[in-house]
């Protein structure tokens, strides 16, 4: 039998290990999809430390999407009302290079923008940074991670002095209390949730608290569900802190030795007594007290969150308010404890390491820091001052830049903003005005290809070799195991070729992705995300490895320690664990701030950017369903998944449905201040009265008038610049 290729699932940030086998196996019938096309066989990789062989339906069916609707050749058109014609790579790249040169002399480099993706491998991210931030001198590279976890990045950076989730998945099985807020982990990070659920079921003393306006499958599994009103997270978190302080559940030694700002924080949380908080959040006082008691009485508390916290006009404040609870109770840097943001995309973490947002540079450096810029310039062999000191345009600023004419070239790669951006009609209008949009993707058509002048075919996962980092900082090498279709190329190869054509021949003199990775790791030396001890060879030989992994630690990998002592691993996995040590950050209580202390931050709640009123009386919240991934460019092409989730829907509480005479399945028009959509009603007590839910996946290609983001607004957190995609005010009209 052929040896399987070990790789990583390219969907979500859980980062499950996969084993892939060719469609035809000796002595076995060829694996085929429903149309009879041969498909690769995919199963979980039991040796992967993060997932131990488990995968969900998305990972299990990934191979069925690989050959459908692929973009195979460069295509060009002069204007959006013309059809595309096939072009050569030469013609397409020369057009881009000419436009870049023209813009540099007329409008300046800051009129050039690239909008990338957490689907990139680290090598793709890295070369894009070198091209834009290094060689062209503009920081206008942002990624769809801006819409996903930039609030977590900002929160960690401000509280701890640097980005980086401090926990690891082993903590799921070592915690006494899991506090899940703004995350439907059961559906969106299912393999993480499975590990937690097994631990919770086995250990009656372990508590699970879920904070979510919806009674999701995650909330169903909890000991305590706090269905707070949307936008009251900070009230709740300050309310829990108030009770912990009142009842004396403090780690005073940790507060004194390892933190700063506690006294100012206590002044703010004095204003959050339970009766005030319960009323604002719309929950019972005894449930609030129960949550505080679970926190206080547990030795190890693990918080998990994702978009429900991050996608908010006060996202950074929410993240820091979660972190405050960990700091006051000393729940960080020890097994089973810590604030753990669950990343949405498969390699958003690698993007953070490679500097893949408009305000950061490779190696967890920031654009505004002159020393960081100088270090990167030196490592890239650039003249001092080559890197701009100004953060570039964030995702939404690229859209408004199209409106004002300050963006002369928009290069979009591996993402689908014509579905995923907020205020979608405005986004589309802005895209219509773009002087030149390059769209580099594996699939065609997508909703965004309708707004492109040049299409570049990208090789995707399985067709190129690269690395990805998952939410627990484990780096996995993902080897190429099949040929790209037509003339498709790896994203990094396309960026490097443009760089060479612009005259940066030395800077982009890479012959393969291994050489790119070898250069990238040098930029992480002595940084918090140090991976100088990693190489393709080592990852091939030893399998996935968690960072930090500096050069001197080479050979000292592994994940044993506390997890193993508890005997929670299967015999099969234990053998592997003997070599492996799960790494947590801040185990010594020293943080990356100048004085080594973590910072408390005191915030009052501001609430929703667009609260409901008489005209728009409902809060719309959007989210994912278990089966689909983001804008469905893959999952929309998989029969098994489409059978399970064929169409979007609107969830509404029975009380609200009765008041509006809405019946199950009835078509409902949802109006916000920006647009409208039509969705069939699902009447369910899972959603709180006054709130409605629609899934975010369906774009114009898959369903008419059912785009969730036509309704959402772009008001963003002023620190992280992450838009409040999670909530807007709407009214409902039965059709």
Binding-site ranges for ligand SF4 (CB under 6 A): 9, 11-12, 14-16, 55-56, 58-59, 190-191
CB of 170 to ligand SF4, least distance (A): 17
CB of 135 to ligand SF4, least distance (A): 34
CB of 644 to ligand SF4, least distance (A): 14
Q: Report DSSP letters for 46-94, one per residue.
A: TT-TTTTT---HHHHHGGGGTTSSB--S-EE-SSTTSPPEE--HHHHHH
CB of 351 to ligand SF4, least distance (A): 16
Rg for the chain, CA atoms, rounded: 25
CB of 710 to ligand SF4, least distance (A): 26
Q: Which of 9/227 has CB closer to ligand SF4? A: 9
Which one, of 121, 120, 101, lies nearest residue 111 by Cα? 101
- 8 A C-beta contact, residue 489 and residue 457: yes
**Mapping DSSP to helix (H, G, I), strand (E, B) and coil, where does residue 35 land?**
coil
Task: Scan for tokens 């700063």, then name that residue.
Answer: 260
Task: Give the span between the Cα atoms of 635 and 394, in whole angstroms.
Answer: 28
Tokens standing for 179? 């506090």
Distances from the Cα of 694 to the Cα of 12, 356, 663, 726, angstroms = 20, 30, 17, 10
CB neighbour list of residue 694: distance below 8 Å, 6 or more residues apart: 620, 622, 648, 649, 650, 651, 670, 677, 679, 706, 708, 711
CB of 178 to ligand SF4, least distance (A): 17
Task: Output phi, psi for 621, to 5 deg.
Answer: -120, 145
DSSP state of 38: B
CB of 55 to ligand SF4, least distance (A): 4
Task: Give the span between the Cα atoms of 291 and 209, in whole angstroms.
Answer: 7
CB of 189 to ligand SF4, least distance (A): 6
- 8 A C-beta contact, residue 181 and residue 325: no
- The distance from CA 615 to its chain's CA centroid, rounded to whole angstroms, is 34
Task: Give the span between the Cα atoms of 126 and 131, in whole angstroms.
Answer: 9
C-alpha dihedral (379, 93, 147, 323), degrees to nearest 10: -10
CB of 12 to ligand SF4, least distance (A): 3
Q: Which of 42/136 has CB closer to ligand SF4? A: 42
CB of 470 to ligand SF4, least distance (A): 8
The residue number whose beta carbon is nearest to ligand SF4 equals: 59
- HSE-up of 278 (CA within 13 Å, CB side)? 14
Q: Which of 58/365 has CB closer to ligand SF4? A: 58
**Mapping DSSP to helix (H, G, I), strand (E, B) and coil, where does residue 365 land?**
strand
Task: Give the span between the Cα atoms of 616 and 3, in whole angstroms.
Answer: 58
- 8 A C-beta contact, residue 167 and residue 323: no
Give the length of the chain.
Answer: 735
Q: Which of 308/344 has CB closer to ligand SF4? A: 344
Which one, of 345, 349, 315, lies nearest residue 163 by Cα? 349
CB of 686 to ligand SF4, least distance (A): 22
């Amino acid at each position: 039998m052929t040896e399987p290729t070990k790789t990583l699932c390219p969907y979500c940030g859980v980062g499950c290990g996969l084993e892939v086998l060719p469609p035809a196996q000796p002595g076995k019938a060829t694996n085929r999809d429903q149309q009879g096309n041969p498909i690769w066989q995919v199963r979980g990789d039991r040796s992967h430390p993060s997932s131990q062989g488990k995968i969900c339906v998305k990972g299990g069916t990934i191979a069925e999407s690989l050959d459908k609707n692929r973009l195979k050749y460069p295509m060009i058109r002069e204007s959006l009302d013309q059809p595309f014609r096939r072009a050569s790579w030469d013609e397409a790249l020369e057009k881009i290079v000419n436009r870049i040169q023209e813009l540099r002399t007329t409008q300046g480099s800051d009129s050039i923008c690239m909008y990338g993706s957490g689907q990139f491998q680290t090598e793709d991210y890295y070369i894009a940074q070198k091209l834009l931030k290094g060689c062209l001198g503009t920081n206008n590279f942002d990624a769809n991670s801006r819409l996903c976890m930039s609030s977590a990045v900002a929160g960690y950076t401000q509280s701890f002095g640097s980005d980086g989730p401090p926990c690891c998945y082993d903590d799921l099985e070592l915690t006494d209390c899991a506090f899940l807020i703004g995350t439907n982990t059961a559906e969106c990070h299912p393999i993480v949730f499975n590990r937690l659920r097994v631990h919770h079921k086995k250990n009656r003393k372990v508590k699970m608290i879920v904070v979510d306006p919806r009674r999701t499958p995650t909330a169903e599994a909890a000991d305590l569900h706090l269905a707070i009103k949307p936008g009251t997270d900070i009230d709740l978190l300050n309310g829990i802190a108030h009770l912990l302080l009142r009842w004396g559940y403090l780690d005073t030694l940790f507060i004194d030795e390892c933190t700063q700002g506690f006294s100012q924080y206590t002044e703010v949380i004095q204003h959050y007594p339970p009766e005030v908080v319960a009323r604002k959040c719309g929950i019972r006082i005894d449930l609030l007290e129960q949550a505080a008691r679970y926190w206080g009485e547990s030795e190890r508390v693990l918080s998990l969150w994702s978009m429900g916290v991050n996608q908010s006009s006060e996202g950074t404040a929410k993240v820091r308010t979660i972190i405050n609870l960990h700091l006051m109770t000393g729940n960080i840097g020890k097994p089973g404890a810590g604030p753990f943001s669950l990343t949405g995309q498969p390699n958003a973490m690698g993007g953070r390491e490679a500097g893949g947002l408009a305000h950061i540079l490779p190696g967890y450096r920031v654009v505004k820091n002159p020393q960081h810029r100088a270090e990167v310039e030196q490592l890239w062999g650039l003249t001092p001052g080559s890197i701009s000191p100004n953060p570039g345009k964030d995702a939404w600023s690229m859209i408004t830049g199209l409106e004002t004419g300050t963006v002369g070239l928009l290069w979009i790669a591996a993402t689908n903003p014509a579905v995923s951006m907020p205020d979608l009609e405005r986004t589309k209008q802005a895209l219509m005005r773009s002087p030149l949009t390059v769209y580099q993707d594996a699939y065609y058509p997508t909703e965004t290809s309708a707004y492109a002048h040049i299409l570049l075919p990208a090789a995707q996962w399985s067709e190129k070799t690269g690395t990805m980092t998952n939410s627990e900082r484990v780096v996995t090498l993902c080897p190429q195991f099949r040929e790209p279709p037509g003339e498709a190329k790896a994203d990094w190869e396309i960026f490097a070729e443009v760089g060479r054509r612009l005259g940066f021949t030395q800077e982009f003199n890479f012959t393969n992705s291994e050489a790119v990775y070898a250069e990238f790791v040098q930029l992480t030396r002595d940084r918090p995300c140090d991976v100088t001890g990693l190489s393709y060879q080592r990852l091939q030989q030893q399998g996935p490895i968690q960072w930090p992994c500096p050069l001197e630690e080479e050979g000292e990998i592994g994940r044993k320690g506390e997890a193993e002592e508890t005997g929670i691993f299967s015999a099969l996995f234990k053998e592997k664990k003997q070599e492996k040590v799960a790494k947590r950050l801040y185990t010594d209580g020293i943080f990356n701030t100048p004085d080594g202390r973590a910072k408390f931050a005191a915030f009052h709640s501001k609430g929703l950017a667009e609260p409901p009123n008489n005209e728009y009386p409902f809060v719309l919240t959007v989210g994912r369903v278990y089966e689909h991934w983001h804008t469905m460019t893959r999952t929309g092409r998989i029969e098994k998944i489409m059978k399970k989730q064929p169409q979007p829907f609107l969830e509404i509480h029975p009380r609200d449905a009765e008041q509006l005479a809405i019946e199950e399945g009835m078509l409902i028009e949802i109006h916000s201040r920006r647009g409208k959509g039509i969705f069939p009603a699902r009447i369910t007590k899972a959603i709180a009265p006054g709130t409605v839910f629609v899934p975010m996946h369906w774009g114009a290609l898959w369903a008419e008038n059912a785009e969730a983001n036509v309704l959402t607004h772009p008001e963003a957190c002023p620190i992280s610049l992450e838009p409040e995609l999670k909530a807007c005010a709407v009214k409902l009209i039965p059709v």
